[in-house]
Chain A
Amino acid sequence: MTTRSDVLVWAQGVVKRKAAPAHQLLEIAADASLDDAQEAFHKIARVAHPDLHRATLAADELELVTTAYARAAAAYQELRNQRSPSRVRTARESDPGPRVLPPTVQVPYSAAPNKAVTVPDAAPSNSAQAMNSKALVYYRKAELCLRRGELTGAVLQLKLAIASDPRSTLLRSALAEVEAEILKLR
């Protein structure tokens, strides 16, 4: 790894092996010591540190080298964490599954289905908040009916929803729209 193209070949190799274990990115044995890992990373830095190439590489090439170097840095950090118990650790790399993001404040799933029949799509993200939870259940069922094209079923569900939350203007306008749709089809 001495010339410009060698650095690019190395960088492409690292970027391609995204899921490879840390020691492979540093090109050392799986049981290599912390000193070996450090020496390997320093060797990479001497040749491939992006600072050394900012004048000679094109922007996209530099981005590639930076990405590869940044991933090698993460691999080195991972090995450091494994081999030095006193360090503060990040999450174990061998996690069983992905971590769960917190639910968003908004009530999930309120996007309007895009079917032949138009549904009230007035501010879909707010529509769910414009009614109480019981009404929301019926509203969801109405949405399902609409998606299947069962307009009368939707009317029934919407009426049940209105019964649960008589003050919701959104439900009333939704019902009016669906009824208008039925009239049009006749």
Chain B
Amino acid sequence: MSVALGIDLGTTNSVAAIATPTGVEFILGARGERVHPSVVAFPASGGVVAGTDAKRYRLSEPHNVIHSAKRFIGQNMRAPLVQLALTGVRYNVVEGQNQQPIVALRDRRMTMPEISSHVLLHLKRAAERQLGTQVKDAVITVPANFTDAQRQATKEAGRLAGLEVLRLINEPTAAALAYGFGRDRNQIIAVFDFGGGTFDVSILKINGEVFEVLASEGDFFLGGDDLDRAVAEYLAAECQRSLGVDPRPHAGLMMKLMMGAEAIKIHLSDNDAAEGEIEGLDLPTGVGKLGFAMTRAQLDDLIAGYVQRTMNVTRMVLAAADIDPHMVSEVLCVGGSTRIPLVRRRLAEIFAREPNIAINPDEVVAQGAAIQAGSLTGNLSAGTGVAARDAVATVGHSPLARGGVTLPEIAARRPVLMDVNPATLSIHTAGGYIERLLDKNAPIPIERTRIFTTSRDNQTRVEIDCCRGEARRYTENEPLGTLLLDGLAPKPRGDLKIEVQFRVDADGILHVRASDQTSGRHQEATLQVIGAPVDKP
């Protein structure tokens, strides 16, 4: 009997869990930690280190420590946001084949899926140690607004780690599943997911065991890291004022300040003021320390702009789902950044109710993934006595226990997840405009067929350019790739009937098929997207 792992593969941290008859059991690291940093180190001494141990190298060998790979996975190296993200890393990223970003480290060149596969492999091995059985299958969560290429690259990472990826599910959907499964209530909930690197918010309708995502919207480059940077900038100014050294050109110093900023931010979530000093600063004048004092109000000022952006997106998604805020009966907070009091306060203003913070925002996504994994394989691991003891603490504030529902019922009544298509998918038509085939926020899997025709007499081939995005003009959308259909019979323009079929599968990946109705010729493709991984760098 195989065990299927539920994995929340995060930008900064990852969590893995399995569904057991008594609840969800977390996979622990070597020190008993549930949260595993998504960090991979290739130390100068050789070998590969992932997880908590890899983080140790962050100060001593920053160039050999790969973090935030999720910001680059399945991305086009030339995308402006990728270029922006590159300013935040100290390892070397170069452009590889198909414009994909490649990590160049000493004599090694590695794709982003390869980097992420080390994190997944670390989790897989930890799970195998803990459970004493082989782990082959996994459900991995991705941000709701992940693109086709990012999803394909994430699947590729799973494959490289020796895992069969049963399903990719959206993070907010997983959170809703962990929260709502077994409650047997019809309600509308909002999931506000503000993590280390990404932000998205989703509106779901729970109808018995059916979980339908009504709308989902997000900002791929907005997260706790941005808040840390805002605080670090403040500390840098402070450093220049009191110590007379501008730390901004010194990457090592800034890294230290970023870590300090994160600690201050976390402290201010529970306290009104933070005061102390950051020690061990490697100043040009020798090792020094920087004193700081910050109140929560000051922090709120620094991060207000970012928080405002999240609230704007929240209003947008409510409009897209046709839902009034008062119809929402629960607001779930996911991701560490939702611990910030300002975020919770602003959320309460929008929905006129306190957000639900009873669930652990770091762990709820992995819980949902584990439930889905158990549901897809149809069997539950017995788990181990050891970690089940550890799981008790989570089960204590998990709805799974509160509702008095234990997981074996899944086998009888399994949850049905209806995720959504993250962006409108269209094809290029004559005149530079687009024809929408599949809507953003449509339920997936979904399939739709449209008939197109040629624009010139005797045209013997057509190129079907596919794109994603909401703009009306083709060039303003993100190109996905081109499908070529040739060998068409020469006919006057408009006479040919070319059937184009778009299907988005349950993982959110697009498959395109084009056929000529007269000759019956057809072409099929899962789009090879620019920036997507190719076989080798």
Give A residues with C-beta under 8 Å from B: 18, 38-39, 41-42, 45-46, 49-52, 54-55, 66-67, 69-71, 73-74, 76-77, 81, 84, 86-91, 97-106, 108-111
Contact code string B431-469 (vs A, CB < 8 Å = 1, else 0): 110011111101111111111111111111111110000
Q: Would you mind naming 23 contact pairs between A and B with Cβ atoms under 8 Å apart?
A: A42-B212, A45-B210, A45-B212, A45-B418, A46-B416, A49-B418, A51-B417, A51-B506, A66-B445, A70-B446, A74-B447, A87-B439, A88-B470, A90-B437, A91-B435, A97-B453, A99-B435, A100-B452, A100-B494, A108-B457, A109-B458, A109-B460, A109-B490
Q: Is the CB of B477 closer than 8 A to any CB of chain A?
A: no
Q: Is B98 among interface residues, defined by CB-CB distance under 8 A? A: no
Residues of A within 8 A of B506 (CB): 50-51
Q: How far is the CA of A42 from the CA of B207 in the complex (A)?
A: 8
Asked if B393 is an interface residue, CB under 8 A from chain A, the answer is no
Give which listed residue, B320, B447, B457, contacts A67 with CB less than 8 A.
Answer: B447
Give A109 to B378 CA distance when docked, in angstroms. 55
Known: A73-B442, A90-B438. A84 touches B459 (CB 8 A): no
What is the minimal beta-carbon distance from A180 to any residue of chain B, in angstroms? Answer: 27
Expressed in whole angstroms, the Cα–Cα distance for A100 and B454 within the complex equals: 6
Q: How far is the CA of A106 from the CA of B428 in the complex (A)?
A: 17
The answer on a CB contact under 8 Å between B464 and A101 is yes
The answer to whether A99 touches B319, judged by C-beta atoms less than 8 angstroms apart, is no
- In the bound complex, residues from chain A placing their C-beta under 8 Å from that of B461 are 104, 106
Q: Is B201 an interface residue (CB 8 A)?
A: no
Contact present for A77 and B430 (CB under 8 Å): no
Contact of A42 among B210, B375, B505 (CB under 8 A): B210
Contacts of A108 in B (CB 8 A): 454, 456-460
Contact assessment for B446 and A73 in the assembled complex, using a CB-CB cutoff below 8 Å: yes
Measured between beta carbons, the chain A residues less than 8 angstroms from B25 are none
Contacts A51-B506, A52-B414, A99-B450 given; indicate if A70 touches B436 (C-beta within 8 A): no
* Inter-subunit contact A101/B424 (CB<8 Å): no
The residues of A that contact B376 with a CB separation of less than 8 Å are: 51, 54
Min CB gap B371→A, angstroms? 13
Contact of B452 among A51, A99, A110 (CB under 8 A): A99
A83 to chain B: closest residue by CB = B322
- Kindly list chain B residues whose C-beta atoms are within 8 Å of the C-beta of A109: 456-460, 490
| In the complex with contacts A51-B506, A73-B444, A77-B442, A98-B452 CB distance below 8 A | yes
Interchain residue pairs A-B with the least CB separation, the first 7: A109-B458, A70-B447, A98-B451, A108-B459, A73-B446, A77-B442, A90-B436
* Proximity string of chain B (491-519) to chain A, C-beta cutoff 8 Å, 1 when within and 0 when not: 00110011000010110000000000000
Residue from A91, A100, A106 within 8 A of B453 (CB atoms): A100
Binary CB contact string for chain B from 362 to 397 against chain A (1 if under 8 A, 0 otherwise):
000000000000011110000000000000000000
Alpha-carbon separation in the docked complex, A180 to B416 (Å): 72
Alpha-carbon gap, A52 to B490, bound state (A) = 46
Check B455 against A103 for contact (C-beta < 8 Å).
yes
Q: Which residues of B contact A (CB under 8 A)?
A: 167, 205, 207-210, 212, 319-320, 322, 375-378, 414, 416-418, 424, 427-432, 435-440, 442-465, 470, 490, 493-494, 497-498, 503, 505-506
Q: Give the docked Cα–Cα distance between A150 and B464 (Å).
A: 38
- Given known A-B contacts A46-B416, A77-B439, A98-B452, A104 and B319 have beta carbons under 8 A apart: no
Residue contact A88 to B440, C-beta cutoff 8 Å: yes
Instruction: Give CA–CA (A143, B175) in the complex, Å.
Output: 66
Report whether B444 and A103 are in contact in the complex, using a CB–CB cutoff of 8 Å.
no
Residues of chain A lying within 8 A (CB to CB) of residue B378:
55
Asked if A101 contacts B462 (CB within 8 A), the reply is yes
With both beta carbons as reference points, the residue of chain A lying nearest to B459 in the complex is identified as A108
B454 touches A73 (CB 8 A): no
Given known pairs A109-B458, A111-B460, the reply for A103 and B210 (CB within 8 Å) is: no
B445 touches A73 (CB 8 A): yes
Chain A residues with CB below 8 A from B450, complex form: 91, 98-99
**Which residue of chain B is the closest to A90 with respect to CB atoms?**
B436
Min Cβ gap B421→A in Å is 9
- Contact check: which of A88, A104, A106 meets B439 at CB < 8 Å? A88
**Nearest-CB distance from B147 to chain A (Å)?**
18
User: Which residues of B sit under 8 angstroms from A52, Cβ to Cβ?
Assistant: 414, 416
Closest CB-CB distance, A120 to chain B, in whole Å? Answer: 17
Contacts known (A52-B416, A54-B376, A90-B437); A98 close to B453, Cβ less than 8 A: yes
Knowing A55-B378, A91-B436 touch, does A76 contact B443 (C-beta < 8 A)? Answer: yes
Residues of B within 8 A of A111 (CB): 460, 490
Q: Note all chain B residues with C-beta closer than 8 A to A74.
A: 438, 442, 446-448
Contacts of B167 in A (CB 8 A): 51
- Shortest C-beta distance, B316 to chain A (Å), equals 12
How far is B417's CA from A1's CA once the two chains are assembled, in angstroms?
Answer: 19
Give A98 to B437 CA distance when docked, in angstroms: 13
A-B contact sample (8 more), CB < 8 A, given A98-B452, A99-B453, A101-B463: A18-B449, A71-B447, A74-B446, A87-B439, A98-B453, A100-B452, A103-B455, A104-B462
Interchain CB contact under 8 A, B445 and A110: no
**C-alpha gap A98/B320 in the complex (Å):** 29
B-chain residues with CB within 8 Å of residue A100 when the two chains form the complex:
429-430, 452-455, 493-494
A29 to B503, CA, bound (A): 26
Residues in B with CB closer than 8 Å to A76 are: 443
Measured in the bound complex, the distance between the Cα atoms of B446 and A76 in whole Å is 10
Residue of A nearest to B212 (CB): A42
In the bound complex, CA of A146 to CA of B375 (Å)? 67
Residues of chain A contacted by B209 (CB below 8 angstroms): 46
B106 to chain A, nearest CB (A): 43
Distance between Cα atoms of A2 and B448 in the complex (Å): 26
Please tell me if the beta carbons of B424 and A88 are within 8 angstroms of each other in the complex. yes
User: With A91-B436, A101-B454, A103-B456 as given contacts, are A70 and B445 in contact (CB-CB < 8 Å)?
Assistant: yes
CB–CB A103/B459 < 8 A: yes
A42 contacts across to B, CB distance below 8 A: 207-208, 210, 212
Cross-chain contact of A101 among B208, B375, B455, B490 (Cβ < 8 A): B455
Expressed in whole angstroms, the minimum distance between the Cβ of A26 and any Cβ of chain B is: 12
**Nearest B residue (CB) for A70:** B447
